[in-house]
Chains A and B, each alone.
Chain A
Amino acid sequence: MTDHASISSSVAGFDRVTVRYGPLLAADAVTLSVPRGCVYALLGRNGAGKSSLVRCLLGQQKPTAGTALLFGKDAWRTRRSAMQRVGVVPEEPDVPPAMTAAQTVAFCSRLYERWDGTGVAERLRRFDVPTRVPVGRLSKGQKGQLALALALGPQPDLLVLDDPTLGLDVVARKDFYEELVGDLADRGTTVFITTHDLAGVEGIAERVGMLRHGTLVLDEDMEALKARFRRIRFGRRPAAQPAADEALGALGAVRVAGGDWGFEAVVERFGEEPYERFTSEGGVVDPEARAMSLEEIFIAVCGEERGGAS
């Protein structure tokens, strides 16, 4: 579990953050930390509370309870100074639509101490973002690239991306992540990203958190996460059912489905030893364990009500 000390020393973190909108609980005592240099992906279905947490982290919204921290300090109180070191790509492009990209860049360049004007201009040129056209008339992809360029402009220590590829086509998403990966490779920027684009983020995220109805149900390294989740297909003889079920339970089955073709179980505590024990049960026939994608794991964790099925 994330403790208070690790939150305080992290680049970004949440310490028992709760967000309420009247009777609606958007986030329930969420605690997590994003270590320096880490790419942290916060996943959750629509309405899970991701954007509320992002706004809290950016000091734009005061949590109902708890504290969102940036560089170890209360984000609500230190927002202005912290934003010198933070780049933000919002869920929806929020650049004033009447302004051109050039005017927007000029505006932002006056506000940051470490503004990389050359890099911003280079990115905009590379992605053919017109700089003399009002932002309101740019395509969604161009707006996204402009937002990323503006976010990277101050050479941030932390990049906060709130579902940045929402609504982008496949090519634009690919360009976006390539640009992001390039920057990460160059500077090792810490990234906090919320997204529904699980395939896109799977290749770059080092740590994953999953929100379910405002509760953080998962927070661990991507490698460990992928290592402990498996999809197991098997057949079995009816006489051996109790022993097989017990062995499957030891693997942490979160979902079991059956059909004419046999059974399929998603397990969350996969390990060689318990798997050996499961396969060695007399009743289990043709077992096959397969690694799961992040999307599959997300669906298993957040997609439906958890629980086994016989």
Chain B
Amino acid sequence: MRGFLAVAQREVVERRMWLVAAVVAGLIPLAGHLLPWVSADNAVDARVTLALVLASSLLVAGSLLLGISMIGTELGERRLGFHFARPLSAAAIWWGKLTASFLVVMLVGVLVLLPTALVSGRELPGRNADDGPLLAGLVAVFVLLVLLVGHALSVAGRSRSWLLTSDLVAALLIGAIVWAVAMRFWFADSATLFTRLVESTAFAVLVGLAVAGWVQVAVGRTDARRGHRALSATLWGTLGVFALAIVGYAAWVFSATPSSLGRLSEVMTAPGGSWTLVSGSSAGRGDFAPTFLLDTQSGRWLRFEVRARWWVAPMFSADGRTAVWLQQTEGGRRDQQQVLVADLSASQPRAVATSLVLSEDAWQVRLSRSGRRLAVIGEKNLSVYSLPDGGLVRAVRVDVGSGRVGLRFLGEDELVYGVWAKGDWLNPVDVVLRRLDIPSGRLEESGKLNGARYRDFVVLPGDPRGELLLAFHPREEGLELVLHDARTGAARASLLSQPDKPLARAAFLFDGRIVVGESPAVTGGPARVHLFDREGRVVRTIALETDELGRIGSEVAPGVSTVSLGRDEYWGGRNGHAVLVNVDQGSIQNLPEGYLPVPVSGWWSPGRVPAEPGGACARLFRSPEGALVRYEPTTGGFTTILATRWPS
């Protein structure tokens, strides 16, 4: 310790002119208002700006120059022997010099800013107690990093050996590895993992450089080349181990299987069959959400690995045997998306990249019920492709302009799209509907849908055949739920007024009938579930004894809808229970407490059709513990599919 302090003190004394320069530089901003282009109004800004520029410049220059000269200059001028001829350990020499250089640079920054802080302290960044320590910490890390980099460059440069080439190769190699892992995290939408990687890389570089400097001094002593060898071996060894560690960690992160899921965050069922997309968190994997296409019957699964997952959702054919999704091309350009197809009926389903690559003009993409046609609409084109070969079936010119667009198949040979001006999410919009006859290529205006709330037009599901749609229309008092013809936009019937929470309270049954829930807040009495026929006529109204109405889920059997009761927070809730409402008979069956229908996400996707009644995907629930389970109508029990859990 005595040696460390002696070296540090000596180093500070030797660098004292930096402190003198900082004191002088600190006084310059006080005269900032004398600059010809500075007015009295912005004198404070000018002073603060000048102080920050001077402080930053001196910090950068000081860090670099002191880093270069800390050891390198004495090594190059053969004066390092002065220290090694004394009873000083290598640790005392290295850490003493490093600490002193660091303190001098930091002190330089403080001395430059101090006069301005005393005069105009409130205007300086980091003046708040909240961000001050963080800013100081970031500056300290930056200074230390530049010091150490300067030292390493200085030692490497002075050795003038072939090791410089290997240094460059190692730096490029490790940089490439870190970059590749970082990009993998980035495109997996793992902001936390990406941030942690950046932080841990900075930490590893800092530690690697600091330890390498120590080893260089300890092993190389006054021998520049030997020191360079030691520095390189330690630095690249450390960073190499780090690179291997992050590669291993990334491999582990992305090797998750459905059983790795700790908590489900997303379920997206196919309309038919038993396949569903599941996504969730996994212990030790940060915010990366492993995502799979899972067969809830057989347990087969397919890793749903896509870059930029947050905006990618699979589209299923009506029978659930085909899944289609888009993925950025390998180059990582977001405006180039490749279409992938998975045949889920295969014994070992796998994603197959088609030859179809969509450009930035692909605003909305829809899959036909058969899964054999893909419609793509953009600003100027509406195209229909055949799958899986990717051949162009039809392309027509459209003029969406800068508006918004919604697209849906009405059958294999017919498409309807709506265009409306960009507006507020909750404001009514006037939608112009156009219809494309695919075989003939004829495009015509088919109708209008005026005054529908944009959010609801997008959100509410269509009927399985795509002929009907629901929209909320803002009225003077509340909202009116109207059933429309999807082709012409014509209003068929007004179903209800003042429905609350429209997002969760209306659903088409598989046969096109409509179930709408009214909560006690609307009725003033018990909650009610109304059944409408395809023409919008009320068929039946069923009262439910509950204080709060949740969501209307799928049909566990034809005509038997699942309705959750109580407060059903979208994914975070544990409480509440569900009932099975037989809308044909008007009967109600309670399910055990805590079993709620899984909220089927993908709700933003217009044209989403309900799951086939009684199918595996229509019977998915989450258990009170958070597991993904399937309701078995024959026994009234539940079969666990994924033993996921709510966080403890």
Contact = CB atoms under 8 A, between A and B. Distances in A.
Interface of A: 55, 58-62, 79-81, 83-84, 86, 88, 90, 92, 94-96, 98-99, 103, 107-108, 110-112
Nearest to A113: B87
Contacts of A111: 2-3, 6, 86-88
Given A55-B222, A83-B87, A98 B81 contact: no
Which 10 A-B pairs give the minimum distances between C-beta atoms? A88-B85, A94-B79, A94-B82, A83-B87, A60-B222, A110-B6, A84-B87, A60-B84, A60-B221, A107-B10
A80 B3 CA distance: 11
Given A55-B223, A60-B223, A95-B79, 17 more contacts: A58-B81, A59-B84, A60-B81, A61-B222, A80-B88, A83-B84, A84-B87, A88-B85, A90-B82, A92-B79, A94-B79, A94-B82, A94-B85, A96-B79, A103-B10, A107-B10, A112-B86
Contacts of A59: 84, 221
A61 B224 CA distance: 10
A81 B222 contact: no
Residue of B84, B222, B226 with most partner-chain A CB within 10 A: B84
Chain B interface size, under 10 / 10 to 19 / 20 to 34 / 35 or more: 20 to 34
B61 to A, nearest CB: 18
A88 B78 CA distance: 14
B78 A92 contact: yes
Nearest to A85: B87
Interface of B is mostly: helix
Interface string B67-83: 00000001000111110
B81 A94 contact: yes
Contacts of B223: 55, 60-62
B89 interface: yes
A81 B87 contact: yes
Given A81-B87, A111-B2, A99 B81 contact: no
Given A58-B85, A80-B87, A110 B2 contact: yes
A90 B87 contact: no
Interface string B8-38: 0110011000000000000000000000000
A59 B83 CA distance: 12
A99 B81 CA distance: 16
A83 B74 CA distance: 20
Nearest to A83: B87
Interface of B: 2-3, 6, 9-10, 13-14, 74, 78-82, 84-89, 219, 221-223, 226
26 contacts: A55-B222, A55-B223, A58-B81, A58-B85, A61-B221, A61-B222, A61-B223, A62-B219, A62-B226, A80-B88, A80-B89, A83-B85, A83-B88, A84-B87, A86-B85, A90-B82, A94-B74, A94-B79, A96-B82, A103-B10, A107-B9, A108-B86, A110-B2, A111-B3, A111-B87, A112-B87
Contacts of A83: 84-88
A193 to B, nearest CB: 15
B399 to A, nearest CB: 75
Main secondary structure of the interface of A (DSSP, over half): loop
Contacts of B226: 61-62
A296 B560 CA distance: 118
Given A62-B226, A107-B10, A79 B2 contact: no
Given A55-B222, A61-B222, A107-B10, A95 B85 contact: no
A258 to B, nearest CB: 46
A110 B2 CA distance: 8
Contacts of A86: 85
Contacts of A62: 219, 221, 223, 226
Given A61-B221, A96-B14, A107 B85 contact: no
A79 B91 CA distance: 13
A59 B93 CA distance: 15
A94 B83 CA distance: 9
Contacts of B219: 62
A83 B80 CA distance: 15
A145 B86 CA distance: 18
A151 B226 CA distance: 27
Contacts of B84: 58-60, 79, 83
Nearest to A88: B85
Contacts of B80: 94
A259 B3 CA distance: 65
Given A60-B221, A96-B79, A111-B3, A103 B85 contact: no
Nearest to A86: B85
A98 B221 CA distance: 22
Contacts of B14: 96, 98-99
A92 B223 CA distance: 16
A99 B10 contact: yes
Contacts of B88: 80, 83, 111
A54 to B, nearest CB: 10
Contacts of A108: 86
A117 to B, nearest CB: 15
Contacts of A112: 86-87
A215 to B, nearest CB: 22
A178 to B, nearest CB: 23
Contacts of A94: 74, 78-82, 85
Nearest to A82: B87
Contacts of B221: 59-62
